[in-house]
Amino acid sequence: MAGREMVRKAEQLVKEAMRGNDASHDAWHVWRVRDLALSLAHEEGLSSNPDSMEIVELSALLHDIGDYKYVRDPSEEKVVENFLEEVQIEESKKMKILKIIKGMGFKDELDGLSNNELYPEFGVVQDADRLDAIGAIGIARCFTFGGNRNRVLHDPAIHPRSDLSKEQYMKKEEQTTVNHFHEKLLKLKDLMKTKAGQRRAESRHKFMEDFLKEFYEEWGGRA
């Protein structure tokens, strides 16, 4: 199947698979990550290789299908693998895409997994996903997800967890939405894999710091 046809089919799969998700992990999130990933890939010099750009685009499009936070049926975990087999993508590309998707989550970073040394495409896709988790969009997504899960907005008595392992991070413990900034979002700037991602993360990170400063001032009645 031709490359652009595979992309169109992947876009359709995204619309179908993510239709029931809240707005923090919906198709709009995927479109933003795809655009960011392709932009970062250009800045990182991958655009001279059409195969790399195809891997980047398809990985970005498919990266959140089967996300453990939204899986309702164990069979959903195989959707991406089944899709890549159906469109008959080359085996080498298929394996790279699956490797990127399975290793790009924050929980996997906590587990010490890193693919960027082997796959340059990994860095731009992961950085794109993380850029969408910080800054103004990241703040909006964080509170959208927290509201969807009925999490407490903020409770000064509940402190952020430190030195999280993968297992601890995935536990369904009662945590506040604001604590998620300290447990994950404020750490992402220093975990960017590409120079292009690092540059973009600076201003988004600063925006979150300013937001939290104002939030705590208002919460405490000081502003």
Containing structural domain, residue 164: 3-219
What integer pLDDT is reported at residue 216 of this predicted model? 98
User: What token pair was written down for 44?
Assistant: 């990182």
Q: What is the mean pLDDT of residues 10-32?
A: 96
CATH at residue 163 = 1.10.3210.50
> Are 10 and 33 within 8 A, CB to CB?
no
User: What token pair was written down for 221?
Assistant: 């009645």
Structural domain tally of the chain?
A: 1
What integer pLDDT is reported at residue 131 of this predicted model? 98
Stated pTM of the model: 0.91
CB burial of residue 37 (10 Å; 0-12, 13-18, 19+): buried
Q: How far apart are CA 179 and CA 56, in angstroms?
A: 31
Which helix (H) or strand (E) is 15 found in, with range?
A: helix 3-17
Q: CA dist 79 to 65, 124, 197, 217, Å?
A: 7, 23, 29, 45
Residue 112 reports pLDDT greater than 90: no
